[in-house]
Amino acid sequence: MNVIVVGCGRVGAELAYRLYQKGSQVVVLDIEPAAFSNLPPDFRGRTVEGEGLSEDVLRRAEIEQADGLAAVTNSDPVNAVVAYVAHTVYHVPKVVVRNYDSRWESLHEIFGLPVVSSTVWGAQRMEELLHHGDTRLVFSAGNGEVSLYEFVVPVSAQGRTLQEVFPEDQCRVMAVTRDGRAMLPSDTFRFEDDDIIHLSATPASLAALRTRLNLPQEG
């Protein structure tokens, strides 16, 4: 896979190195030559100095042959424009945009490209750890709009059925582990003490669930 990473800050360098380790042919762009020092010594991809918005620079990076491009500079307007050009002009099959400042997130959404906001996701994750220590975040999709959580069944849910406790319009139970064995529960499944629940939910639906199960809310 031929991938271009635009921006060689900490995120760009880490991404470029991970892609290189997985066998991709990686080209890293940055306007500052010193930024390439963020790359590990054993990185063997190409580096191209120049502005990511420049047609000449993009062509030197061989964007016509690129299978993917990640725009990860610390400038949201630059990321948005570079990604849009890569997608619409050069028809790069896979384009991903980094959202640096959450106030610019709507700009990326206008272009309809996949967006990763480490700021939004990181803040949400820390908030959950601070306020909801009894619920463990296992995985977040997108920028945290939907997440997979793990928690021990609360007393308020013991002896009740899945359908009673978890309405489908608010969250979905993916699995239940009992005595070390995981299972896919039916609507009539009854929870017992020490059952471990894995469910997917939005932040809003998780808050509603906590209210229904008498779990602590944000304090």
- CATH classification at residue 18: 3.40.50.720
Confidence band (pLDDT; 50, 70, 90) for 18? very high
100 belongs to a structural domain: yes
* 108, 6: one domain: yes
Alpha helices in 54-213 (DSSP H): 55-60, 76-88, 105-111, 118-131, 162-165, 203-212
Residue 218 lies inside a defined structural domain of this protein:
no
Q: How far apart are CA 208 and CA 72, in angstroms?
A: 35
The structural domain count of the chain equals 2
Residue where one domain finishes, among candidates 82, 116, 150: 116
Q: Is residue 6 part of a domain?
A: yes
Choosing from 99, 116, 133, the residue where a domain stops is: 116
- 79-134 pLDDT per residue, tens: 999 999 999 999 999 999 988 877 777 776 777 778 887 766 666 656 655 555 56
State which amino acid sits at residue 159. Answer: G
* Region 129-143 average pLDDT: 68
Residues 53, 149 share a domain: no
Residue type, 193: D
**Same domain membership, residue 111 and residue 7:** yes
Q: Are residues 50 and 101 in the same domain?
A: yes
Alpha-carbon span 201 to 214, nearest angstrom: 17
Residue at 22 is within a domain: yes
10 has pLDDT over 80: yes
**Which residue carries 């064995």 as its tokens?**
181
Q: What one-letter code names the amino acid at 217? A: Q
What is the chain's alpha carbon radius of gyration, rounded to the nearest angstrom? 22
Same domain, 108 and 127: no
Q: Last residue of a domain, which of 71, 94, 116?
A: 116
For residues 86 and 170, state if they share a domain: no
Tokens encoding 129: 């750890």
Is the overall model pTM greater than 0.85, yes or no?
no
- Considering the domain architecture, whether residues 178 and 128 belong to the same structural domain is answered as yes
Burial (0-12, 13-18, 19+ Cβ within 10 Å), 215: middle
At residue 166 the predicted structure's pLDDT band, cuts being 50, 70 and 90, is: confident
89 in a structural domain: yes
Q: How confident is the model at residue 219 (pLDDT cuts 50, 70, 90)?
A: very low
Q: How many CA atoms lie within 13 A of 111 on its CB side?
A: 25
Shared-domain flag, residues 9 and 66: yes
Q: Quote the longest CA-to-CA distance of the chain.
A: 67
Distance CA 56, CA 64 (A): 12
User: What pLDDT does residue 216 have?
Assistant: 59
Q: Is the pLDDT of residue 180 over 90?
A: no
Closest CA to 69 of 120, 119, 105, 16: 16
Q: How far apart are CA 147 and CA 8, in angstroms?
A: 29
CATH number at residue 153: 3.30.70.1450
Domain span including residue 174: 122-212
Evaluate whether residue 219 is within a structural domain.
no
Mean pLDDT of the chain: 86
Q: Contact, 76 vs 109, CB < 8 A?
A: no
Average pLDDT over residues 144-170: 84
